[in-house]
Each structure stands twice: as structure tokens, then as C-alpha cells.
């Protein structure tokens, strides 16, 4: 039981971390892109 949990949990943690990282990455770059557009059009 313990070995099954240990082999299962890291993958779930990895997926959750990867999704969070990608989400923050997209938000950060979208903000930078908006700032760049503001600089170009002002």
C-alpha cells in the first residue's frame, strides 16, 4: 500500500506543479506583452 502511494503521489504532485508553473508563466508573459503594447502605443 505504501509503495503504491509513493509511486503515485509524485506524479500527481509533478502534474500539479507543472500546471501551476505554466499558468503563472502565461500570466507573467501576458502582462509583459501588455506592458510592451502600452509602451509601443503611448
pLDDT, averaged in runs of 10, over the chain (42 residues):
62 89 88 86 76
Integer CA distances (angstroms), 42 to 36, 37, 39, in order: 10, 9, 6
pLDDT of residue 21: 93
What distance in Å separates the CA atoms of residue 1 and residue 14, rounded to the nearest whole number? 20
The secondary structure of residue 42, as a DSSP letter, is: -
Cell 502600452 identifies what position?
38
Q: Which residue has the cell 509601443?
A: 40
Cell of 6: 509513493
For 28, residues 6+ apart whose C-beta sits below 8 A from its C-beta are: none
Amino acid at each position: 500500500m505504501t509503495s503504491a502511494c509513493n509511486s503515485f503521489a509524485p506524479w500527481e504532485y509533478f502534474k500539479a506543479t507543472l500546471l501551476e508553473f505554466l499558468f503563472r508563466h502565461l500570466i507573467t508573459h501576458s502582462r509583459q506583452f501588455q506592458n510592451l503594447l502600452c509602451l509601443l502605443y503611448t
